[in-house]
Structure 1
Amino acid sequence: MDGHPGPAPDTVTVLWCTTDGDERRTAHTLLLRAAARTLRVPVSGLRLDHEPGGRPVIGGVAEAPRVSLAHARGALAVALTDRTPVGVDVEVVRELRADALARSWLHPAEAEWVTGLPERQRSVAFLWLWTQKESVGKARGWGLRRGGMSRPVPLPERWPPAASLTPRPLPGAAHLTSSAVIVGEGRYVLGLALVGAVRAGAVRTRVRRVDAADYA
């Protein structure tokens, strides 16, 4: 990581790393220390609280960044921004019963897209959509409740997708944007979502792989 940059008002910073255990605790530590670097305050003055719906918030300061965190087996991610409610998710790429899952859980157009891909690409494509839906739910503060899995997210403009996070409006919901990116040489998928109408190009996203030991 280059220095200790923090997110500017128009920037979303996503930090991710791998870990050999205790992903939840490591994610909490990474989030607090990243927030402390952003705010240029001692980490001892910050705490991690949660809203009633479960969304994490940084306590201990008057103007804290909006944050989100996620962890999976062996990997975790955090997101910070001053701009808008944010959600992040991470999934380990693995073989799934992608056709059945897509037909059971996704919007029909999404299921048609997943099942129309070559079979070897369907699992990662399903996760590419799943992480966005998880992220949208986190950004809104209520997870996948209220029909979160069936809510459509933007399909990729091309596949394999771009190697960058560029949130785009959800179909029929211009106040929500999402995107996903494949990282770690194809081993992980990161999803990101923002709440609030965003002009095209108005938000920059920075994705950094970090060493968890640097934030221990």
Structure 2
Amino acid sequence: MARAGVTVLWGPTAGDARTAAHTALLRGAALLTGEPADAFRLTYEPGGRPRLAGAAAPPHVSISHGRGVWAVALGTTGPVGVDVEAVRPVPALRMAGRWLDAAAADWLARVPPAARPAAFLWLWTQKEAIGKARGRGLRGGGLGRPVPVPERWPPTPARGGLPALRPLADDPGIFCAALLADSGRHVLALASAAPTTVELRGRFGPGGADPADLRRGRGQAPEGRPRHAR
């Protein structure tokens, strides 16, 4: 695996997404460092930010798991945040009026109705990722942060992974990006507290294993609010 500033691993799972994410994080650290996965241990800071314990552990990590999907980010250049959501029917305009700034809500209202759930989640996952990168979670660091809306919907696909991370207008120390993944079935967002290069790998690469297999040694939120996890 290339040593980018941030490596993002993600994929769907038929098993427990939380367990899959934790397993993927340990496996990702092993792939990055060449150390065995059992050389690392997942811990949490008092505020809830995840950490990997171990002499060679990447210094910055983030975890997300949702409805049958997981994502992890491992970084070397600064704090990171990752978030992933399965695209599904949501009351996008009602939720936008409650959780998004006026400019973003107005943009969403102009998106064709059938595309609004994905467009809302495209914005929401970035807020989640920003809160994680800032180390204060959604309410403490991401909910009030406006994120840039795309010039067109759906956004132009990025070749080879995430589009370039862009600084926030009101906080140039945080950089973020999002993409529609898996033929539009999922939305994946990343935020970083430093400008950096990103390597994106779904299921540990083409034909890769679900973390449920790796674990065996073979290589819902309150109504009106999306599910989220640190």
- Structure 1 residue 51 corresponds to structure 2 residue 45: yes
AA of the residue aligned to 1:119: P
Q: Which residue of 1 aligns with 2:214?
A: 215
Q: Which residue of 2 aligns with 1:7?
A: 3
Deviation at 1:149, TM superposition (A): 2.0
Contact 2:111–2:153 (CA under 8 A) maintained in structure 1: no
Deviation at 1:115, TM superposition (A): 0.8
AA of the residue aligned to 1:140: R
Residues of 2 paired with 1:148 and 1:64: CA distance? 24
Is the partner of 1:113 in helix, strand or coil? helix
Segments of structure 2 that go 5 or more residues without pairing to the other structure are 204-208, 216-230
Deviation at 1:120, TM superposition (A): 1.0
Is the partner of 1:186 in helix, strand or coil? coil
Residues of 1 paired with 2:56 and 2:186: CA distance? 35
Q: How does 1:48-197 map to 2 (within 5 A)?
A: 48-61=42-55, 64-146=58-140, 148-164=142-158, 165=162, 166-196=164-194
AA of the residue aligned to 1:36: A
AA of the residue aligned to 1:127: L
- Structure 1 residue 38 corresponds to structure 2 residue 37: no
Q: Which runs of 4+ in 1 moved over 3 A?
A: none
Q: Which residue of 1 aligns with 2:225?
A: none
Deviation at 1:21, TM superposition (A): 2.0
User: What is the root-mean-square deviation in Å for CA atoms of aligned residues?
Assistant: 1.6
Q: TM-score scaled by structure 2?
A: 0.84
AA of the residue aligned to 1:114: L
CA 1:147/1:105 → structure 2, altered by over 3 Å: closer, same or farther? farther
Segments of structure 1 that go 5 or more residues without pairing to the other structure are none
AA of the residue aligned to 1:60: G
Residues of 1 paired with 2:141 and 2:41: CA distance? 32
Residues of 2 paired with 1:103 and 1:129: CA distance? 13
